[in-house]
Amino acid sequence: MQSHPDKGQEPRNLLLAALPDREMQFFRDSGQKLSLHEGKILQVTSRDADWLYFPTTAVISLMAMTRDGLSVETGLVGSEGLVDLPQFFRQQHHTLECMVQHAGEVCQISVEVLREAHVPTLHRMLLRYAGYRLSELAQAAVCNKFHLVRQRLSRWLLTAQDRTAKKEMEFTHEMLSAMVGARRPVVSSLIGRMEEEGLIQYRRGSLTVTNRAGLEQAACECYGILSKAMTEYLTTFGLGEA
């Protein structure tokens, strides 16, 4: 399930693109475009935030962290959603760290401004998106508990390709190990084996998916489950397919 922008169209956030003209005008007046570099941390856990981010070309990882600095990804947000949804619903503290996985642009808007705005279509869509995020979190818990690192890595690479809509992506071994919650030597060994099998190519931080069908077979069932959930979320509001 991949997302590919239409040729000739400006990159867009699917939530914002589905808004009626009046609500879209509110975003033009109140929001602002922001360019984010890879690795930037948008929020730090246990601190209040003032902004919501609607990615257009950026892709952002939602990371669960331990006191010892260990991490595992619980979600990946691209142009289908937004970052810091709990803050919109007045959750006081963060439990996840938000890191830019793929450099690009977002639409940034004040949490308070959006709460007070009369944008009923968007508010309904955010409730639907919250449902998808709950499904993603639950599936991530199952995946990280029961599935092999190879399965989790394959699933994550497929999801990353869906969100970036690119065949070639820039990831270091350290970054991939943080995403799947595994030690770097384990991930490095898996990357080597997956290269030998013709699933991927990896050169100096640049990873290319060369056999997507094979990668789908190597992934756990979580990828298919979440792909179906994403399709249901998108079609509810006529957002198209991702």
Mark the ranges of the chain whose per-residue pLDDT is less than 50: 1-9, 241-242
Write down the architecture of domain 14-141 according to CATH: Sandwich (2.60)
105: phi then psi, degrees, rounded to nearest 5: -110, 150
Q: Are 78 and 55 in contact (CB under 8 A)?
A: yes
Cα 227 from chain centroid (whole Å): 13
The whole-number pLDDT of residue 95 equals: 79
Rounded distance between C-alpha atoms, residue 86 and residue 90, angstroms = 6
Rounded distance between C-alpha atoms, residue 53 and residue 23, angstroms = 16
Rounded distance between C-alpha atoms, residue 48 and residue 50, angstroms = 7
Rounded distance between C-alpha atoms, residue 119 and residue 101, angstroms = 29
Rounded distance between C-alpha atoms, residue 45 and residue 171, angstroms = 23
Residue ranges covered by each domain of the chain:
14-141, 148-218
What digits encode the pLDDT tens for the residues 178-237? 999 999 999 999 999 999 999 999 998 899 999 999 999 999 999 999 999 999 988 876
Topology of the domain covering 148-218 = Arc Repressor Mutant, subunit A (1.10.10)
First to last CA, the chain: 6
Rounded distance between C-alpha atoms, residue 213 and residue 35, angstroms = 33
